[in-house]
């Protein structure tokens, strides 16, 4: 094991700041490899976005055959954009095994290894992605419903307070209440979504089935709301910052050419500006999606360190080598499974000892 890995990436419980810092350092170390991993699904989604911009601008054509063509083009673009996003989630899940193996065993991070892992568990990753998407929608609906209830209660209270209190006081109370309701809604959302964020890691690292991975993720996700929220907010703001940095030169050039760069006037953009906007936008995802992949992998390892003494197991593995394959079933598997974990055989139907 290299001295850099052993000293710079110790396995220890991480706070939110440590998690972000370590993810950024790993990102800088493997920048181009991680961008190659993240590029294919983003390119597919970007191509669909370009087709969408072209088709939407031509739906007002009076030609019936041309209208049918652009409607078909719009449908294809939606499929590509949706498929690119799903493929992105699948690749992020498949990358976890390579990333975790790098964290624990200093294996090389490579696009070939990542996509080999994706091919080996593609349908399982597809099922995991569907579960995560449905659970995310359910979490969002519950969080928004809770926010709406709290907001209505605050609005009724502020309306009653306005009968005898000055305007400045009611405004302050309303703003504080709205912010508090938003924070509570975000907390509820991340509390729920945090239950399934480790499903791809469990399946790829521990070699479990989809159902087992979901149950395992629920058991691991305890006390991760603040770290998961911090990681999500950091990646979101970094992505938006990268997006604006990429779009700023295009916006200035378009403005000098008489183009209104405001997104609310997208229908009036010339074709060259719309295509450039749809190409530059996904580049921010290529640049920042690896940070999210690294953050979730680090968070998964951190959860096992906190709840299962994973650091002790890894220290033993580093000193003594890999566990031998003795075909012994145990609730505690090795640090990284070499394949899909097999269930123990069913008990003998006969009541005699050893089935004799």
Does 131 map to a domain? yes
Does 236 map to a domain? yes
Q: What angle do CA 89, 95, 101 make, to 5 degrees?
A: 150
- Six token digits for residue 67: 């209208």
Does 19 map to a domain? yes
Please choose, from the candidates 203, 192, 216, the residue with its C-alpha nearest in 3D space to the C-alpha of residue 90. 203
- Looking at residue 204, its pLDDT comes to 87
CB 37 within 8 A of CB 91: yes
Does 4 map to a domain? no
Q: Highest mean pLDDT range out of 124-133, 221-230, 316-325?
A: 124-133
Does 1 map to a domain? no
Given a cut of 70, whether residue 321 has pLDDT beyond it is no
Residue 11's pLDDT band, with cuts at 50, 70 and 90, is low
Least confident of 85-89, 93-97, 105-109: 105-109
Given a cut of 90, whether residue 88 has pLDDT beyond it is no
CA–CA dist 127, 209 (Å, integer)? 10
Enclosing domain of residue 159? 11-315
Given a cut of 80, whether residue 222 has pLDDT beyond it is no
**Per-residue pLDDT tens over the stretch 28-50:** 888 888 888 888 888 898 888 88
Does 160 map to a domain? yes
Domain count of the chain?
1
CB 246 within 8 A of CB 283: yes
CB 203 within 8 A of CB 217: no
Given a cut of 70, whether residue 65 has pLDDT beyond it is yes
Residue 323's pLDDT band, with cuts at 50, 70 and 90, is low
CA–CA dist 255, 233 (Å, integer)? 31
- Looking at residue 75, its pLDDT comes to 92
Average predicted confidence (pLDDT) for the chain: 78
Does 62 map to a domain? yes
pTM of the model as a whole:
0.74
- Looking at residue 139, its pLDDT comes to 92
Arithmetic mean of pLDDT, 177-189: 88
Higher confidence at residue 241 or residue 190?
190
Arithmetic mean of pLDDT, 282-298: 80
Read out DSSP for 155-217? HHHHHHHTTTS-HHHHHHHHHHHHHHHHHHHHHHHHHHHTTTTTHHHHHHHH---HHHHHHHH
Does 6 map to a domain? no
Given a cut of 80, whether residue 199 has pLDDT beyond it is yes
Residue 312's pLDDT band, with cuts at 50, 70 and 90, is low
**SS3 for 110?**
coil
Arithmetic mean of pLDDT, 240-255: 84
């Amino acid at each position: 094991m290299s001295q850099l890995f052993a000293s710079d990436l110790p396995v220890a419980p991480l706070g939110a700041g440590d998690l972000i810092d370590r993810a950024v350092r790993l990102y800088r170390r493997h920048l181009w490899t991680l961008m190659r991993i993240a590029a294919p699904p983003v390119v597919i989604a970007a191509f669909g976005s370009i087709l969408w911009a072209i088709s939407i601008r031509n739906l007002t054509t009076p030609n019936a055959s041309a209208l049918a063509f652009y409607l078909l083009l719009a449908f294809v673009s939606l499929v590509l954009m949706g498929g690119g996003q799903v493929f992105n989630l699948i690749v992020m899940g498949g990358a976890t095994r390579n990333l975790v193996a790098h964290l624990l065993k200093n294996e090389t991070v490579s696009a070939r290894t990542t996509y080999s892992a994706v091919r080996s568990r593609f349908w399982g990753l597809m099922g995991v992605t569907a579960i995560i998407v449905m659970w995310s929608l359910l979490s969002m609906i519950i969080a928004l419903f809770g926010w709406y209830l709290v907001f209505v209660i605050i609005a009724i209270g502020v309306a009653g307070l306005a009968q005898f209190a000055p305007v400045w006081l009611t405004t302050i109370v309303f703003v504080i209440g709205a912010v508090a309701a938003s924070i509570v809604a975000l907390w509820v959302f991340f509390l729920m979504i945090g239950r399934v964020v480790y499903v791809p890691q469990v399946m790829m690292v521990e070699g479990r089935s989809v159902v087992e991975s979901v149950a395992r993720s629920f058991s691991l996700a305890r006390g991760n709301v603040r770290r998961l929220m911090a990681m999500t907010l950091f990646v979101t703001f970094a992505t938006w910052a990268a997006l604006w940095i990429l779009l700023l030169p295009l916006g200035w050039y378009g403005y000098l050419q008489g183009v209104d760069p405001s997104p609310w006037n997208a229908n009036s953009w010339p074709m060259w500006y719309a295509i450039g906007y749809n190409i530059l936008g996904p580049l921010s995802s290529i640049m920042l999606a690896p940070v999210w992949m690294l953050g979730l992998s680090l968070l998964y390892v951190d959860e096992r360190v906190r709840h299962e003494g994973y650091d002790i197991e890894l220290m033993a593995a580093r000193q003594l080598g890999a566990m031998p394959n003795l075909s012994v079933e145990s609730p505690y598997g090795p640090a990284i499974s070499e394949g899909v974990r097999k269930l123990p055989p069913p008990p003998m139907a006969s009541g005699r000892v050893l089935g004799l």
